[in-house]
Amino acid sequence: MAPTAAPTKLQLVQSNSLPALVQVEIEQLILCGELAAGERINESDLAMRFGTSRGPVREALRGLEESRLVRSEKNRGVFVREVSVAEADEIYDVREALDQLIGQRLAERATPQQLCELDAILEEMDRATAVQDVNSYHALNLRFHDMLVDFAGNARLTESYRLLTKGLLLFRLRGLQDGGGFPVSNTEHKAVMAAIAARDGARAGRLLRQHAAASRARMHKAAASRTRK
């Protein structure tokens, strides 16, 4: 009998190759800000840190370059990408289109079980809002949108979306955290959820797109107030 639904830890470790492991590790380093945007990455240092040789590290960096988290200059090294406001704007343009699709598909396909999970997150976000816990809210917000795209049931859509939002995450790290308008954000989430629960695909799509647009506007506002200072 074949082991059907048993994701053993052993199997995961054995299936994932070392460069792949190193890649997610470096990705974490970048996303958590330990490797700052614009910074140059030293291959030898990373290799030492992970206890490998430079080969796997180079392979991992090549993968990260393809996912646009780093850029590489010949004979000079690879650098953590920095995304400008203009680039973030471009990303948002695409994201809005994808978010609309996500809302649409969610309304068609999301199971009641999944809707419950989403509602649970929303409640947690309300609690975080009440205590003004920005960090928790930010993390929950990320998880919420990740679940949304997952539950939309289109693997390629998930891929594209994740790639895009990683770039956005890199931008947010530069300081401006969503313009601070996070109580508003959650009311928008609830409106989207209502449309999904009502199985109104068109409305859900429209609302989720508007939510992304609002988020973009908050970013602009924060960026503007920042450059003014």
Question: Which chain residues interact with a copy of itself by CB under 8 A?
Answer: 14-17, 19, 55, 58-60, 62-63, 65-68, 72-74, 87, 90-91, 93-94, 97-98, 100-101, 105, 154-157, 159-160, 163-164, 167
**65 belongs to the binding site for DNA (CB under 7 A):** no
In degrees and rounded to multiples of 5, residue 79 shows phi and psi of -120, 145
Cβ closest to DNA, residue 54 vs residue 226? 54
Among 30, 35, 41, 80, binds DNA (CB under 7 A): 41
State which of residues 19, 153, 181, 201 lies at the interface with DNA (CB under 7 A): 19
We find the least distance from the C-beta atom of residue 92 to a copy of itself, in angstroms, to be: 9
List 4, 75, 135, 227, residue binding DNA (CB under 7 A): 75
- Binder of DNA out of 38, 77, 180, 183 (CB under 7 A): 77
The answer to whether 44 contacts DNA (rule: CB under 7 A) is: yes
Under the binding rule (CB under 7 A), the answer on residue 17 touching DNA is yes
